[in-house]
Amino acid sequence: MGSDMRIVEVGNNILQFKFSSKYQMEWVERCGPWSFDNNLLLLCRWKKRLTSTNISFTHSPFWVQIWGLPFEHMSQDVGEEIGSKLGKFIEVDRRSWHSDQAKFMRVRVELEIDKPLRRGAYIASSEGERLWLTFKYERLPTVCFICGKLGHDKKHCPTSGVWQTACLQYGDWLRAGWTAKVAAKERNLSKDTI
């Protein structure tokens, strides 16, 4: 962002970012989510009467990839409908299904940060059968594979005692770009470093 951006600590883990232009600020808002040390950096635009004691962080924007959507359903309307069921709908990336190799649709939504991530959803096909759609989250920070919530991992999950013997419903597959090939490479790297 250059040396003209300033960061000021204004409270307990609350920072104020001062941009030199509206363009810089809007670029940061548009290109998130942002993280620091794999922890979600929550942003809120300044408004009158906002202080470090009355600020509230409840939502964060994410790009969500929708996998398994039949080509005939890849449209603005379907993207809006699915996005609004995930959270507060922001936009559909029309380029994601207009490319020659359209494998998924991207929607940008504001998600409630204290709720578990949605793994997917069922939709009805044009023939009336139920199809499972898988959701993958871009730039996903620390997430718990036990409860599906952001901000902690399974080692630090407050519900881990209750669900310790249950099968995990979440995993690295929630992260966009994660593949079994990447997981195998990570396992091999960890074996080499031990």
3-state helix, strand, coil in the chain (%, to 5): 25, 30, 45
Stated length of the chain: 194
**What does each of the 194 residues of the chain score in pLDDT, given as a tens digit?**
666 788 888 887 888 888 888 888 888 888 888 888 888 888 888 888 887 788 888 889 999 999 999 888 889 999 999 999 999 999 999 887 676 567 899 999 999 999 999 999 998 877 888 989 999 999 999 999 888 999 898 888 887 666 555 677 888 999 998 655 444 444 444 333 33
CB 186 within 8 A of CB 148: no
CA 71, distance to chain mean position in Å, is 24
pTM: 0.78
Report pLDDT for 15: 84
Residue 107 lies in a domain: yes
Name the amino acid, one letter, at 104. F
In-domain check, residue 48: no
Q: Quote the domain boundaries for residue 90.
A: 59-183
Q: How many domains does the chain have?
A: 1
Specify if 3 maps to a domain.
Answer: no
Q: Quick check: is 53 in a domain?
A: no
